[in-house]
Structures are given as C-alpha cells and as structure tokens.
Amino acid sequence: MTKTNHRAGTDSTELAMLRELLGTYVERDAVARLIDRYLAGLDERVFDEEWARSLFAEDVRLVFPVGSREGLAGLGEYHAEVMGRFDRTVHIGSNHTITVQGDRAAFRFNLLCLHVLVDGLHAERGPAPGATFESAGRMSGEAVRTADGWRFDLLALQVVWTKGEPPVRVRGV
C-alpha cells in the first residue's frame, strides 16, 4: 500500500503564495527606491541626461505648481532651472503607498521640501541672506516597468502648505 502525502500539496501551494507575495514586495520596493532616488537627486543637483533617463519614461508627464511638462527631452534642464532658485535643499518623502499591477504602478507619498533661497536672486525682494522657503504636500503618480527598470510616467504634486517667501521665477519656469 502506498502512503499519500497530503502535506506536499499544501506545501507547494504555500510556497507559490510566498513567491507571489515576495514578488509583490520586491516590485513595491523597486518603485519606492525610484522615488527615493528622485528626491535624493533633487538635493544632489546633477540634472544631466543620464539622471533624467534613470528616472523618467520617454513620455513622462509632470504636473507641478511651477508648471507642467511632457516628455523626457529637456527634463534635466527643466529641473536645473527650477532648482536653480535655491542654494541648498532637502526633500523628504514618507508614508509611501504603492500599488503594483503588472508593468504599471500607482503611488502616493507625503513630501516635505526645505529650501534655502539663492541670496542674489531674491535680494530685490528683500529676504535676508539665507532665507528659507518650506513646502509640504502630496506627490502622486504612476511608474512603468521598462527594460531598464521602473521609470516615472506621471508625477503630480499637490502643495498643502508653505512657509516663508516663495522663490522668484527663473526664465519663465
């Protein structure tokens, strides 16, 4: 008489469930690291084409209070102009909510932005040297899986509050 191992079927089902769960966590972590790389890049201030291609899909859409943009072309220069209003910055993202479905992910996180204004750029408005501008809000968007990894397809910022003198516009941005 052959003895049947009923536990073997249960073990393989549990193993399949664990593999699926682990895959979900790995993909969510990859999107969270994309978000963190973007925020760190804003503070590191190297906005070249390599930086842009490592973060954004070809047809990316940005919806920011300083303006909206579409497409990867010129995105490094756009960020350099916007961030050129500040001498130093710190961007902190928290409370990530990430949902992955196949090759697309939707995300949302809280964002705290601390900026030290460029003294000479803002002098005509009278802020003291080292003046700061702070903002907080919610960043939401979508990412797409590419051959090179996850890339932003949409980034949208909703500002909830600000503190301090906002920066002046630079070259129409």
pLDDT on residue 99: 97
- Residue 53 is predicted with a pLDDT of 97
Specify the pLDDT at position 56.
98
pLDDT given at position 2: 53
pLDDT digit string, tens, across residues 97-127: 999 999 999 999 999 999 999 877 656 666 6
CA separation for the pair 121, 91 (Å, rounded): 21
- Tens-place pLDDT, residues 119-161: 776 566 666 778 899 999 999 999 999 999 999 999 999 999 9
DSSP conformational letter for 159: E
pLDDT of residue 153: 98
H or E stretch covering 95: strand 86-101
Place of tokens 């516009």: 169
CA proximity to 134, closest of 121, 116, 120, 122 = 116
Chain-centre distance for alpha carbon 80: 16
Give the global pTM: 0.86
pLDDT in tens, 23-71: 889 999 999 999 999 999 999 999 999 999 999 999 999 999 988 999 9
Q: With a cut of 50, say whether residue 169 has pLDDT above it.
A: yes
* Radius of gyration (C-alpha) of the chain in whole angstroms: 21
Contacts of 84 (CB under 8 A, 6+ apart): 118, 170
What pLDDT, in 10s, does the model give residues 9-21? Answer: 678 888 888 888 8
Tell me the pLDDT band of 172, cut-offs 50, 70 and 90.
Answer: very low
CA distances from 134 to 98, 118, 125, 137 (A): 26, 14, 17, 10
Cα 36 to Cα 11, 23, 96, 123: the distances in Å are 37, 20, 10, 32
Domain 6-164's class? Answer: alpha beta
- Pure H helices in the chain: 6-44, 49-53, 75-83, 119-122
Residue 1: pLDDT band with limits 50, 70, 90: low
